[in-house]
Structure formats: structure tokens, C-alpha cells
Homo-oligomer: A and B are copies of this chain.
Amino acid sequence: MSFTVQATDGKARAATLTLAHGEVPTPIFMPVGTYGSVKAMTPRELEELGARIILGNTYHLWLRPGLEVIAAHGGLHRLAGWPRPMLTDSGGFQVFSLSQLSKLTEDGVVFRSPVDGSPRNLTPEISMEIQATLGSDIAMAFDHCPPGDAGREIVIEAMERTTRWAARCLPAPRAPGQQRFGIVQGGAHLDLRLRHLEELCPMPFDGFALGGFSVGEPIPIMYQLLDEVAHRLPADKPRYLMGVGTPRDLLTAIGAGIDMFDCVMPTRNARNGQLFTWKGKLVISNAKYKMDLSPPDPDCSCETCKTFSRAYLRHLHACGEILFARAATLHNLHFYLELTHKARNAILEGRYPAFASEAISRFS
């Protein structure tokens, strides 16, 4: 396991992260595979798209299919048929956002499974145990992510709890070669972000994430905070911005020093009929595409753009055809992966600021 920075350009970095299941060039986007599968995609397609690492959701996989089934397969890689690196989140974000019956104590969170109503107890130790069973290349520390509209006192409380929970995660057993990342909270408060960063970064994690972004705060505030905070995370370890975001968000965060991203946006928006292109978003249901014979993005080389017209995709979307979800997801993931790939090349060639500002101007 290693992390090597090949080049920097301002605060932006191009690096290589070596994990148990392979190398990951950064900056990198990680498609989200909630229940094992990246929605609508096969593992083979993801490999062909150039995906190098995907994310699995601990909370969802714990509830379905459950640890027994995952353990019988020897972990998530074999279960999902994905041979490359995988990162698992801790379940913290989901247990707070998806479980309305959750009860929070210093020990952890008690909630009822939305699947079968069974009582569940998620603690730092249990999250690490689940992630060890999942066998991910990177396990995330169990954190407390408060809502975006939480007051300063609640943010402080969640932050301090996250630090104590992080300390409990570290001694827990791990899968062979499994790395662990700590999560910096602190909401939309710069002083709290910096304070938490100073508390957490001395701890022996293999990398650090920024959690609690893109949870409702104004975009300019997020950009300002990223600009102040991201480059202060340890320079010799990977930096991961959780759950973010738009193409513009990614390029801005890369410019601030972030290496890794995950987000449901390319996959979820695809299923809803929104395609990302190098000239901005394309809403396929728009009447103007009814007779449009051109591909979704004339600048794109993905299978969808090589095969289908906008008019046909609009028709498939109107008919609720599964092929639409597939074709749109494939295109959007291709776009996101190409975006981080191009960002990496721009950093290696020392032209990142020009690349990013030109691309952002086209998206807007």
C-alpha cells in the first residue's frame, strides 16, 4: 500500500494510490455501488469505462443481503464480481439520513431496519467489523455527520463525537491490506473545520476525507471552505471529498487539493433523464430533441454516443425502457471518469488552472 504524488499544479495533485486490489491514479471519481452493483452497470462495463475504484455502502449491504451472505462469498469483491479496488463508507451518513427512528448515544446508533423492522445497533467497532467482512480496500471511520442546517453547537458535538469514534475505529480488526480513512467534519464553519482537521490528522489513518459537504450549504461557501481546508490535510496521504458533486464541484475541489470523489449524481441523474456533456447538462425529455439525430455529446467517444441518437434516447426514456437507464448511466460515468482523467493529465502537464476554468465556463 502506498501513495505517491507524481505532480502538483498549484494545490492540485496527480498521484497514484496503490491498494490491495490494484493501483488508482488520482484525481479519481468513484462510481457508487450501493447494493454491490453500480446501478444499471455490469462490472465488465465499469472496467471498460476505465473505473479504477468503486464505492460500496456499508449500511445498505449490512441490511441486504446481510453479512452472512457476504461472508459466504469471501467479501464484496467476489459477491459483486468486481476485481478492482473498492472503498466502503462507514454507514454513518446513511444511518443518520435514512433511519428516522435512530437513537444516538456515545456508544453508537440504535435504529430499526427499514427492510424488516429488526433492531440494529451500529457502533464504530461494528462498522469496522462489517467493513472487514466486506473486505474493501479502504474502510471509512464511523462518523457523525449532522444535517446541513444544524446549529453550531450541534456541529461541535458531532465533530467531537466523530473524533472519539475515530479513536475507537483504529484498533478494530481489519481485512488484509485494508486501509482506513478518517473523516473531518465541522460543517460550514471554517474555524471548526480547521480545529477538527488538527485533532484528526495526527491520528494514524491512511488517508483523510472531508465529510458533511454538499448537505445544503451554499455552493460558494463550500468552495471557500475547500480552498482553505483541503490543502491542509496531510500532503503525503490521499484526500477524499465525500458525496460531491457536480462537474464544476469536482474541478474546483481538485484545484483545492482533493484527490478522490464519490457521488450518485452521474448515475441517479442518468436514470432521471439528465445527461452530462462537455457543453453542459442535456435534459433528454426536452421536446427539441424529438427529431435530433445527433449523439448526446458529439465530443464523446462512449458506446452510447457512438450508437444512439438523442431522438432515440428521448423515445426510450419516454417509454421507460431499461436501455435508457443503461445508456445514460454509461454515458454519465464515462463523462465523470473522463473529467478526472483529463484533470489528472492537465495537472501532470502543468496546465490545470487553464483546463479547469475553460471546462467550467463551458458547463455554465
> Interface on A for B, CB 8 Å cutoff?
35-37, 39-44, 64-65, 68-69, 72-73, 79-81, 290-291, 293, 303, 307-309, 311-312, 314-316, 318-319, 321-323, 325-327
Contact = CB atoms under 8 A, between A and B. Distances in A.
A24 to B, nearest CB: 22
Given A64-B319, A291-B69, A293-B73, A307 B36 contact: no
Contacts of A69: 290-291, 311, 315
A322 B323 contact: no
20 contacts: A35-B316, A36-B312, A37-B321, A37-B323, A40-B322, A42-B303, A42-B307, A42-B326, A43-B307, A44-B307, A65-B315, A69-B290, A69-B315, A72-B293, A73-B293, A73-B312, A81-B307, A81-B308, A81-B312, A326-B326
A316 B36 contact: yes
Nearest to A43: B307
List the number of copies, as a whole number: 2
Nearest to A325: B322
Nearest to A71: B291
Nearest to A314: B65
A327 to B, nearest CB: 7
Given A69-B290, A293-B73, A309-B79, A36 B326 contact: no
B42 A311 contact: no
B41 A323 contact: yes
A65 to B, nearest CB: 4
A142 B42 CA distance: 40
Contacts of A325: 322
